[in-house]
A = this chain, B = another copy of it.
Amino acid sequence: MQTELSNTLGAEHAVFGFTPFPAVAAAITRAGGFGVLGAVRYTAPDELARDLDWMQEHTDGLPYGLDVVMPAKKVAGVSEAEVEAMIPEGHRRFVAELLEKHRVPALAAGEASGWRITGWMEEVARTQLDVAFDYPIKLLANALGSPPADVIRRAHDHGVLVAALAGSPRHARHHKDAGIDIVVAQGYEAGGHTGEIATMVLTPEVVAAVDPLPVLAAGGIGTGEQIAAGLALGAQGVWLGSLWLTTEEAQLHSRRLTAKLLAAGPEDTVRSRALTGKPARQLRTEWTDAWDDPSGPGTLPMPLQGLLVAEANSRIQRHEIEPLLGTPVGQIVGRMNSERSVQAVFDELTRGFERAIDRINRIAGRAGTRGGTAE
């Protein structure tokens, strides 16, 4: 699975694996893919440095990247307390009542409340970058729009390519105009923030919109057959996130959550604003149902919703409250049915890809000899 892009980056396969876990990112890179470490949970620069040190030691000189969440629009000079004050009392009550209904215990004294708004703010992302550029990362991806122009320049000065996620051809053109190097076309079926357009349609639309920039297909890709499909659509690689959540190297906060992921079918996700205020695909739970119920107060806009539910989500996760326990994940969750090592998952991806190529060549009436040169 070699493309111009994977060759440029020095990866054996054009398979990009996004994950919040250093052990998973490093294993993806070691398996011949391109591991991308999600940085949003690192609010302390030294923690990021510690994990990037670890990545360096465990990637055998092979390439990897970092994913930050940096909004293009500045919310300059607004403190977390000021944002907190914008949350209506009725919404706070709704959260309290939901937690009470499900008898969710409080956190222990001194226990951190996990995800905070700060990880989504530009200043925090900038301190992450100050750390990251000290490491030989090959790619900087941004999950929320184009990063600011000076960040793109800084990445390019360090020889780092910049990628950004797009849910529509319009977003993708905006990224191109901003000077982005790679666009990740994130389809409707993907886990996390998604638009309305499915990967099958979005990928070629984005390829056409940003030509000649390379495009990665994301959303609905968790098998070698789906990798072949994404590449057939014109992508120079694929971007997989959900698939790694049930690998042995993943450090999910809860065994019960892993069990829910292993048991879930393709209809058990929902695109909901419950987590961040923007539509993000995740496991459907009684928590998402409550927020999506028309008789409830509805969700708040980003970043208010994320701030409102941060502590509640930490409590739900910490105490493993089964009916409320969820995570961002795509529709491929239906195929995540066993816990295996990243290497075993990667091997199955490459085998499935080869099978798909054999099959499509038979359908096309081609010999498809391996290792040969183009006709």
Contact = CB atoms under 8 A, between A and B. Distances in A.
30 contacts: A1-B364, A2-B365, A168-B267, A188-B188, A196-B267, A198-B219, A198-B220, A200-B220, A200-B226, A200-B230, A201-B220, A201-B332, A204-B225, A205-B334, A233-B356, A234-B356, A234-B359, A294-B294, A353-B364, A354-B364, A357-B360, A365-B372, A366-B371, A367-B367, A367-B368, A367-B369, A367-B371, A367-B374, A368-B374, A368-B375
A169 to B, nearest CB: 7
B231 A230 contact: no
A14 interface: yes
A232 B374 contact: no
Interface in A1-44: 1-3, 14
A275 interface: no
Interface in A227-266: 228-234, 265-266
A334 B201 contact: yes
Nearest to A223: B204
Given A232-B232, A367-B369, A375-B368, A197 B362 contact: no
Interface of A: 1-3, 14, 168-170, 187-189, 195-202, 204-205, 219-221, 223, 225-226, 228-234, 265-267, 294, 330-332, 334-335, 353-354, 356-375
A276 B254 CA distance: 43
Given A198-B200, A229-B232, A361-B374, 6 more contacts: A197-B266, A229-B233, A367-B367, A367-B369, A368-B368, A369-B369
Contacts of A188: 188-189, 198
B359 A232 contact: yes
A187 B188 CA distance: 11
Given A229-B232, A265-B169, A267-B168, A198 B369 contact: no
A231 to B, nearest CB: 5
